[in-house]
Structure 1
Amino acid sequence: MAMQEKQVAALAALDEPTRRRLYDHVARQPDPVSRDDAAAALGLPRATVAFHLDRLADEGLLDVVFARRTGRTGPGAGRPAKLYERSACEVAVSLPERHYALAGQLLAAALEEADRSGDSPRAVLGRRAYAAGRNLAETADPAFDPWAVAMALLEGQGYEPRMEGSEVALVNCPFHALAQEHAELVCGMNIRLIDGVLDGIGSTGLTAHLRPTPNRCCVRLEARSSLSRNCPGWGGNGDQRVVVCRPPS
């Protein structure tokens, strides 16, 4: 499941009123909470509490720990109780998809490195973004077609790649608000990130170019050879997001 889908699923879990009450109760407690504690505090049946607490744990919103509440150990101390506490999971969903945390990490790391090295912050940011793109490419399965891998990775990062003629348009900008205020800096970071993805995958037949377009990503991908619209996965309607084929060699 993609990260955005996981985040949506976690938020959906909190849409149920009883589950949300339980989450809020556990989150406010200084120590892990047992099923009995939560049931007594909220006046709910224990079975209902157990079901919802386990669902919250399954979605990553709560962590499960086991501990003996009496503090005793050894024979006769009894079985550890199943306890729940708020997890470190952070849930944030944006539509269209945005990745401001990634931009913030790259910018902060670039400034720190530039302070130490004396290099231009912009140059360091470009290197950092390129390295991040290559790291992302390393998560892909090399057994799959490079073209399809590139499209899937870009889709997973929120770029919404779509075929337009012989080019791939990136319909969404994951850094939209930042790019609106700091276009030159953010778009420069963006193209280096995508360069890193393409170079890390290799043999995609694609090159990235800066071509700012209103309400879209500033980067556009050009194919080095004409695309076949008859390959598997091509929808033929010009708006399919993820292509599962590659240009003919």
Structure 2
Amino acid sequence: MDQTHDADLSAVAALDEPTRRRLYDHVVRQVAPVGRDEAAETLGLARQTAAFHLDRLAEEGLLDVVYERRSGRSGPGAGRPAKLYRRSSKQVTVSLPGRRYDLAGRLLAQALEESEATGEPPRAVLHRKAHDMGKELGTQDAVGALDLLERYGFEPRSEGDAVVLGNCPFHTLAREHTETVCGMNLQLLEGFLEGLHETGLRACLAPAPGRCCVRLEPASGK
């Protein structure tokens, strides 16, 4: 698991505590940032309890902390700004097994837009975009092929000289739009290997129940 996934799991786990969840729900329903006293009074909590849980939500990145003077006054004698909480812009997504529909959506949207602008067939654009993205990811992440595949949710495992991918990050899309999504996935993984300068493996379509449609075979078997 990568650090982002671990952080998302931690954030979701933080909301499992009932009082903390009530506070989070209260804050996100408000138009303006919420103070500790207000939250405690509204939910019938001790101020110390509300403060503890609000700070925990802020530590997990689920709430942002801002400081404002509620009196509207400024300068000497205006008092200290109050510590307030509001929903953060952080997006938390946890999926087990791992899914990367955001990545697929970005590629499909880019392909559609470029196809409409240039007249190039959408599938050709999609394959090129997927290959380019895979290559970029492989170039940016200076790790081994298995580590990179694990990071993006493919659950790789060695099978002799080949690598089997135990999970498809685009599972639902691949099941409903098999040719389009599996072709995109193949190009993405070819780009991965190229970006990593992994010359010992090649990506090939080898669909089978319970795993990704792409398998990494020894390049010598080409």
TM-score tier by shorter-chain length is over 0.9
**Are the counterparts in 2 of residues 138 and 200 from structure 1 also a CA contact under 8 Å?**
yes
1:225 Cα deviation after fit: 6.6
Residue 151 of structure 1: aligned partner = 146
Cα RMSD of the aligned pairs, angstroms, is 1.7
Residue 82 of structure 1: aligned partner = 83
Structure 1, gaps ≥5 residues long: 227-249
Task: State the secondary structure of the residue aligned to 1:97.
Answer: coil
Q: 1:134 to 1:68 in 2, by over 3 A?
A: farther
**Are the counterparts in 2 of residues 2 and 156 from structure 1 also a CA contact under 8 Å?**
no
1:210 Cα deviation after fit: 1.1
Map Cα deviations across residues 185-223 of structure 1 (whole Å, 9 max, x no partner): 101110111112111121452211111111211111123
Find the partner of 2:184 among 185, 189, 203.
189
1-side partners of 2:189 and 2:56: how far apart?
37
1-side partners of 2:76 and 2:215: how far apart?
67
What is the identity, as a one-letter code, of the residue corresponding to 2:18? P
Find the partner of 1:180 among 175, 178, 197.
175
Find the partner of 2:157 among 159, 162, 171.
162
Q: 1:176 to 1:68 in 2, by over 3 A?
A: same
Map Cα deviations across residues 12-61 of structure 1 (whole Å, 9 max, x no partner): 10000010010011011111001111111111111111111111111111
What is the identity, as a one-letter code, of the residue corresponding to 1:168? V
Matched-pair identity in %: 61
Residue 49 of structure 2: aligned partner = 48
**Are the counterparts in 2 of residues 64 and 84 from structure 1 also a CA contact under 8 Å?**
yes
Task: State the secondary structure of the residue aligned to 1:212.
Answer: coil
User: Mean alpha-carbon deviation: is it higher for 190-199 or for 19-28?
Assistant: 190-199
Task: State the secondary structure of the residue aligned to 1:169.
Answer: strand
2-side partners of 1:181 and 1:203: how far apart?
31
**Are the counterparts in 1 of residues 165 and 215 from structure 2 also a CA contact under 8 Å?**
yes
Aligned length: 220
Task: State the secondary structure of the residue aligned to 1:162.
Answer: strand
1:6 Cα deviation after fit: 2.0
Residue 207 of structure 2: aligned partner = 212
Aligned pairs for 1:1-249 (under 5 A) are 1-141=2-142, 149-203=144-198, 205-224=200-219
Task: State the secondary structure of the residue aligned to 1:65.
Answer: strand
What is the identity, as a one-letter code, of the residue corresponding to 2:66? V
TM normalised by structure 1 equals: 0.83
1:5 Cα deviation after fit: 2.1
1-side partners of 2:65 and 2:18: how far apart?
21
Q: 1:36 to 1:220 in 2, by over 3 A?
A: same
2-side partners of 1:32 and 1:86: how far apart?
8
Structure 2, gaps ≥5 residues long: none
